């Protein structure tokens, strides 16, 4: 009998219109690593809560069907026995700890098992070693970086010696380098503990897919629609995956496009290694163009820069370290600029200076050539929109339509004009059917669209976005980026703070890397990724297609390499890559 | 963004005491001071508190001067002035009128009572500061659970809430910034403030509820409360020194009260000054 045996599991939350999971059945062996895919709201987290027996005990929900672990129906086990089988790592690094120091946090889960103290000490040391935090044993939890926190969460789970690990989007809040590192530790753990069954929910698969034995796909309705080896699932179910907005590994997405274009590829590669093998025969002969294709750079009005910081320094408190150190940056009008760098490097702090939320000294920050300290809040917000990472933070009204009208009402525009502008925004952002809904009741993708729309209501020409694609599936992220591209083509200047390397590779016209409060790089995305030393210090990850190009030694005349599917397609099909907006695969 | 009063991490004799017994000793002093109605006894307790805070616990003055000054001002404005004007003497006791105009008069005995009240309050505030600034919150809760049989579920709830306080402050600041960008200026009128509060409350509550649910599920996933008993990795010890501190506090309180009585300065404790 399989180690995990789930039979006809149906879960329904109180007052929910439909079940979160419907008739889900599957089995998993010891030591298997399963990847759980599905659009948001498809019940991925719910499945983890069921395995750990937290539904229906801790989370009220009606549950039908049975879950067997190690041959035992978990309904017949005590709460302690159930939770001992499954260790969970949750998505939010800020909301899964309850103690103040690393060792106390690991100890917490052991104290609950009433282990004797000597054994706790040994287990704490062991589990921290498994995630590389042994040196941080007495550190305060709030002093750890996001990546370290997630590794600590993993250690907390491991210390309890579960037979199953459920990792629920463990890297969603991490920067690219920290995500890669987390997966490295996970791979090491798999080698050291080959008996542990791992179930992982993830969206960005490039660095993860190599260690996955089996992929399971849940549909919008919470049904298990696909299950199989990764190659097989991605090979034959492209349409289903597209429809659900599942991110594919980029090399897989590229190979699909190539196959659709008639190139001979008998199986789809999942990793850069596999792609190197699969594409070896069909690579372009002859030299690449002298320069990478230029991205369309919007309508530049010329004139003063949209945003400018001159030798700006900043610290949050007199006794705190400097977050910005003598930083200078110019964002020209019509730019589509990506602002990248490690968490805590000062990207958001810098952006908040551009809207006077953090007040610079006179003569340091300029908006369209004018010193921002001489402008009123109304002047500034009429020019610049700022989209926060969490859209909910910005909502001030009770309906979608009032939300859009809000900034106009504050400015006392005539009601007829307000109605007209609101209708236009609703239509162009696909929000018309939801106009009477409460903004908090929208889906994640809709909330994001609404927050962007509200920032354009008074005709702002500059848009700053903090992690615009964070936590979104492929379809909503794609739609949003297309929207930004349209705005950009219409002359809006865009500055996006992001950890999304695909956004940088596919959309940004220029990139700026901020490290330790200073601009360490400003140039094209191609030049950014070609600078390997910088990529390391800025805690970035080169896009997989760039890695692949390097494997083949593909370089443009200027030494940079292709980053996007569009460029690769152009190279392999011999079509010109230049011009037009890049498309996402 | 520091609060008015915080734990001040340091290593001193007072810092190392067991939190529960430290609390008991300090409470003994507090109870003793509430029963003295003259100005001199509370003054002695106030000075004792300051001595323990500054010399024994080595807490720097800047750490506690703000709350202390706040209460000095409060005492002077509230207790002293109120009693000076509205003092009602015990029946058959003469009063000393310092100043009189129309129905308004200032009474010496009233000022004395006000000063006594203020000093009592200051003594209690100082002793509270002594406890708060020398006690690690985690140790305090663990000690309450281990030594005072405080329910552990409640104790950990308090710890989590404490851990989350700075997060809420950050969250509120982000929301304020986000709303300012919407052009929602902060209006100083009462109605404006009320509307603003409502607007901040919704996202803040939404996020608070979500985060606390997440933490609760994370704690449950580690079997919190699954067994009626749990063990503790970090033992909060009780040493002879802790009992000595408690005894010392009781003795000090007794000594002050006795000494004041000998000097004829004590009122309260059933001692009524001779007319």
Q: Which residues of B touch A355 (CB under 8 A)?
A: 181
Q: Is residue B226 part of a domain?
A: no
Q: Is residue B79 part of a domain?
A: yes
Q: What is the DSSP letter of A391?
A: G
CATH (domain of A53): 3.40.50.300
> What pLDDT was estimated at residue A298?
55
pLDDT in tens, B116-138: 999 999 999 999 999 999 998 88
Looking at the structure, do residues B182 and B248 belong to the same domain, yes or no? no
Looking at the structure, do residues A201 and A268 belong to the same domain, yes or no? no
Q: Is residue A290 part of a domain?
A: no
Looking at the structure, do residues B187 and B246 belong to the same domain, yes or no? no
Asked if residue A514 lies in contact with residue A345, where contact means CB atoms within 8 angstroms, the answer is: yes
> What pLDDT was estimated at residue A12?
94
Looking at the structure, do residues B103 and B43 belong to the same domain, yes or no? yes
Q: What is the DSSP letter of A140?
A: B
Q: Is residue A204 part of a domain?
A: yes
Nearest Cα residue to A155 out of A214, A101, A209: A101
Domain range enclosing B80: 13-135+238-263
Which of A54, A55, A95 has the most B C-beta neighbours within 10 Å, making it the best mutation to test the interface with B?
A95
Looking at the structure, do residues B17 and B129 belong to the same domain, yes or no? yes
ipTM surpassing 0.90: no
Asked if residue A95 lies in contact with residue B208, where contact means CB atoms within 8 angstroms, the answer is: no
Cα gap A450→A434, rounded to integer Å:
10
> What pLDDT was estimated at residue A582?
42
Looking at the structure, do residues B71 and B100 belong to the same domain, yes or no? yes
> What pLDDT was estimated at residue A583?
42
CB spacing of B221 vs A386 below 8 angstroms = no
Can you name the residues that pair with A199 across neighbouring β-strands? A34, A166
Looking at the structure, do residues A312 and A376 belong to the same domain, yes or no? yes
For chain A, the domain total comes to 3
Residue B232 distance to chain A (closest CA, Å): 6
Cα gap B41→B76, rounded to integer Å:
18
Looking at the structure, do residues B88 and B40 belong to the same domain, yes or no? yes
State the burial class of residue A122 (Cβ atoms within 10 Å of its Cβ: 0-12, 13-18, 19+): exposed
Domain range enclosing A32: 4-238
Q: Is residue B126 part of a domain?
A: yes
Q: Is residue A296 part of a domain?
A: no
**Among all residues of chain A, which has the CA nearest to that of B213?**
A95
Q: Is residue B249 part of a domain?
A: yes
Which of B145, B182, B209, B230 has the most A C-beta neighbours within 10 Å, making it the best mutation to test the interface with A?
B182
CB spacing of B178 vs A103 below 8 angstroms = no
Cα gap A300→A335, rounded to integer Å:
8
CB spacing of A104 vs B138 below 8 angstroms = yes
Looking at the structure, do residues B248 and B216 belong to the same domain, yes or no? no
**Does B185 contact chain A (CB < 8 Å)?**
yes
Looking at the structure, do residues B130 and B165 belong to the same domain, yes or no? no
CB spacing of B233 vs A381 below 8 angstroms = no
Looking at the structure, do residues A565 and A536 belong to the same domain, yes or no? no
Q: Is residue A374 part of a domain?
A: yes
Q: Is residue A288 part of a domain?
A: no
CB spacing of B220 vs A54 below 8 angstroms = yes
Q: Give the pairing of strands A307-314 and A324-331.
A: antiparallel
For chain B, the domain total comes to 2
Which of B233, B234, B235 has the most A C-beta neighbours within 10 Å, making it the best mutation to test the interface with A?
B233
Q: Is residue A298 part of a domain?
A: no
Residue A175 distance to chain B (closest CA, Å): 21
Nearest Cα residue to B217 out of A89, A6, A85, A120: A89
Helix (H) or strand (E) holding A184: helix A176-192
Q: Is residue B273 part of a domain?
A: no
Q: Which residues of A touch B167 (CB under 8 A)?
A: 94
Looking at the structure, do residues B25 and B128 belong to the same domain, yes or no? yes
**Among all residues of chain B, which has the CA nearest to that of A91?**
B214
Q: Give the pairing of strands A462-466 and A384-387.
A: parallel
Q: Is residue B156 part of a domain?
A: yes
Nearest Cα residue to B260 out of B94, B48, B84, B53: B48
Distances (CA, A) of A510 to A14, A296, A349, A430, B192: 48, 11, 20, 29, 42
Looking at the structure, do residues B204 and B123 belong to the same domain, yes or no? no
Which of A48, A92, A111, A456 has the most B C-beta neighbours within 10 Å, making it the best mutation to test the interface with B?
A111
> What pLDDT was estimated at residue A285?
62
Looking at the structure, do residues A223 and A317 belong to the same domain, yes or no? no
Of B182, B207, B226, the CB nearest to A396: B182
Looking at the structure, do residues A225 and A349 belong to the same domain, yes or no? no
CB spacing of A410 vs B177 below 8 angstroms = no
Would you report the helix, strand and coil content of chain A in percent, each value rounded to 5? 40, 20, 40
Residues of chain A short of pLDDT 70, as ranges, are 284-286, 295-301, 574-585
Nearest Cα residue to B218 out of A70, A152, A64: A152
Looking at the structure, do residues A444 and A557 belong to the same domain, yes or no? no
Looking at the structure, do residues A176 and A36 belong to the same domain, yes or no? yes
Residue B218 distance to chain A (closest CA, Å): 5
Of A112, A392, A396, the CB nearest to B224: A112
Q: Is residue B81 part of a domain?
A: yes
Can you name the residues that pair with A387 across neighbouring β-strands? A465
The Cβ of residue A183 has, within 10 Å, a number of other Cβ atoms equal to: 21
pLDDT in tens, B133-189: 999 888 899 999 999 989 988 999 888 888 888 888 888 888 888 888 887 566 677
> What pLDDT was estimated at residue A297?
58
Looking at the structure, do residues B129 and B178 belong to the same domain, yes or no? no
The Cβ of residue A520 has, within 10 Å, a number of other Cβ atoms equal to: 16
Q: Is residue A489 part of a domain?
A: yes
Q: Is residue B70 part of a domain?
A: yes
Looking at the structure, do residues B115 and B197 belong to the same domain, yes or no? no
Residue B206 distance to chain A (closest CA, Å): 9
Of A115, A124, A390, the CB nearest to B231: A115
Of B156, B182, B185, the CB nearest to A98: B156
Q: Is residue A178 part of a domain?
A: yes
> What pLDDT was estimated at residue B1?
33
Identify each DSSP E strand in A361-490 by its residue range.
365-367, 370-371, 384-387, 462-466
Looking at the structure, do residues A359 and A272 belong to the same domain, yes or no? no
Looking at the structure, do residues A538 and A549 belong to the same domain, yes or no? no
Looking at the structure, do residues A518 and A369 belong to the same domain, yes or no? yes
Cα gap B166→A232, rounded to integer Å:
48
CB spacing of B222 vs A317 below 8 angstroms = no
CB spacing of B227 vs A49 below 8 angstroms = no
Looking at the structure, do residues A473 and A554 belong to the same domain, yes or no? no
Structural domain ending residue among the three candidates A238, A264, A298: A238
CB spacing of A394 vs B220 below 8 angstroms = no
pLDDT (tens digit, 0 to 9) for every residue of chain B, 275 residues total?
Answer: 345 567 888 889 999 999 999 999 999 999 999 998 889 999 999 999 999 999 999 999 988 888 889 888 888 888 888 888 887 777 777 778 888 887 788 888 888 888 999 999 999 999 999 999 999 888 899 999 999 989 988 999 888 888 888 888 888 888 888 888 887 566 677 787 887 888 888 888 888 888 888 999 999 999 998 888 889 998 888 999 999 999 999 999 999 999 999 998 888 877 666 54
**Does B62 contact chain A (CB < 8 Å)?**
no
């Amino acid at each position: 009998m399989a180690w995990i045996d789930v039979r006809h599991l149906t879960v329904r939350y109180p007052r929910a219109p439909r079940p979160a999971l419907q008739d889900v059945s599957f089995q998993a062996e010891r030591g298997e690593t399963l990847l759980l895919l599905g659009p948001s709201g498809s019940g991925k987290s719910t499945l983890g809560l069921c395995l750990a027996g937290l539904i229906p005990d801790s989370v009220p929900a009606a549950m039908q069907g049975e879950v067997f672990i190690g041959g035992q129906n978990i309904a017949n086990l005590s709460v302690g026995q159930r939770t001992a089988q499954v260790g969970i790592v949750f998505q939010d690094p800020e909301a899964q700890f309850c103690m103040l120091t690393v060792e106390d946090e690991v100890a917490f889960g052991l104290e609950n098992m009433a282990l004797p103290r000597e054994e706790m000490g040994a287990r704490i040391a062991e589990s921290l070693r498994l995630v590389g935090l042994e040196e941080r044993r007495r550190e305060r939890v709030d002093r750890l970086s996001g990546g370290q926190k997630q590794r600590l969460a993993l250690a907390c789970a491991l210390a309890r010696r579960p037979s199953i690990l459920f990792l629920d989007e463990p890297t969603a809040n991490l920067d690219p380098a920290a995500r890669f590192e987390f997966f490295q530790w996970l791979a090491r753990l798999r080698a050291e503990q080959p008996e542990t069954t791992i179930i992982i929910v993830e969206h960005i698969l490039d660095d993860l897919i190599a260690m996955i034995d089996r992929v399971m796909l849940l549909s919008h309705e919470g049904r298990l629609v696909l299950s199989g080896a990764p190659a097989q699932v991605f090979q034959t179910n492209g349409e289903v995956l597209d429809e659900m907005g599942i991110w594919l590994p980029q090399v897989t997405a590229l190979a699909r496009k190539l196959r659709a274009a008639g190139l001979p590829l008998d199986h789809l590669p999942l990793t850069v290694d596999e792609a190197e093998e699969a594409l070896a025969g069909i690579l372009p002969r002859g030299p690449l163009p002298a320069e990478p294709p230029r991205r369309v750079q919007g309508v530049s009005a010329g004139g003063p820069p949209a945003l400018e910081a001159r030798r700006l320094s900043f610290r949050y408190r007199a006794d705190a370290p400097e977050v910005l150190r003598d930083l200078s940056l110019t964002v020209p009008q019509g730019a589509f600029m990506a602002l990248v760098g490690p968490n805590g490097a000062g990207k958001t702090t810098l952006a908040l200076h551009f809207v006077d939320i953090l007040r610079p000294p006179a003569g340091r920050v300029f908006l369209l050539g004018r010193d921002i300290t001489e402008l009123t809040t109304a002047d500034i917000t009429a020019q610049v929109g700022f989209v926060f990472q969490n859209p909910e933070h910005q909502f001030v009204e009770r309906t979608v339509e009032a939300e859009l009208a809000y900034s106009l009402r504050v400015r006392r525009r005539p009601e007829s004009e307000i109605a007209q502008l609101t209708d236009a925004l609703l239509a162009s952002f696909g929000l018309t059917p939801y106009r009477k809904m409460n903004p908090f009741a929208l889906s994640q993708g809709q909330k994001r669209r609404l927050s962007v729309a509200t920032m354009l209501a008074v005709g702002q020409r500059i848009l700053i976005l903090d992690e615009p694609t964070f936590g979104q599936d492929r379809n909503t992220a794609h739609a949003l980026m297309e929207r930004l591209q349209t705005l950009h083509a219409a002359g809006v200047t865009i500055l996006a703070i992001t950890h999304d390397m695909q956004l940088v590779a596919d959309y940004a016209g220029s990139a700026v890397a901020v490290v330790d409060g200073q601009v360490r790089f400003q140039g094209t995305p191609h030049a950014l990724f070609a600078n390997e030393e910088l990529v390391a210090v800025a805690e970035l990850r080169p896009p997989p297609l760039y890695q692949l190009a390097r494997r083949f030694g593909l370089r443009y005349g200027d030494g940079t390499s292709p980053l996007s599917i569009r460029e690769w397609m152009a190279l392999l099909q011999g079509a010109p890559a230049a011009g037009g907006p890049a498309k996402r695969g | 963004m520091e609060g008015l009063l915080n734990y001040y991490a340091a290593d001193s004799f007072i810092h190392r005491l067991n939190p529960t017994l430290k609390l008991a000793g300090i409470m003994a002093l507090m109870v003793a001071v509430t029963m003295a109605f003259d100005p001199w006894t509370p003054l002695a307790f106030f000075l004792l508190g300051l001595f323990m805070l500054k010399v024994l616990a080595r807490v720097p003055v800047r750490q506690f001067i703000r709350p202390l000054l706040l209460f000095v001002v409060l005492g002077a404005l509230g207790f002293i002035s109120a009693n000076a004007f509205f003092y009602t003497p015990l029946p058959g006791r003469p009063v000393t009128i310092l100043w009189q105009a129309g129905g308004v008069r200032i009474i010496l005995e009233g000022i004395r009572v006000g000063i006594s009240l203020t000093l009592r309050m200051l003594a209690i505030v100082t002793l509270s500061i002594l406890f708060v600034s020398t006690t690690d919150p985690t140790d305090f809760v663990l000690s309450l659970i281990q030594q005072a049989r405080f329910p552990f579920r409640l104790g950990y709830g308090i710890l989590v809430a404490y851990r989350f306080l700075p997060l809420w402050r950050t969250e509120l600041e982000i929301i304020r910034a986000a709303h300012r960008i919407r052009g929602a200026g902060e209006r100083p009128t009462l109605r404006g403030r009320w509307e603003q509060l409502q607007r901040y409350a919704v996202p803040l509550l939404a996020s608070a509820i979500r985060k606390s649910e997440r933490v609760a599920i994370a704690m449950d996933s580690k079997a919190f409360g699954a067994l009626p008993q749990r063990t503790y990795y970090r033992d909060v010890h009780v040493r002879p020194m802790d009992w000595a501190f408690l005894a010392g506090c009781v003795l000090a309180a007794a000594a002050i009260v006795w000494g004041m009585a000998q000097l004829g300065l004590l009122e309260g404790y059933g001692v009524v000054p001779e007319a």
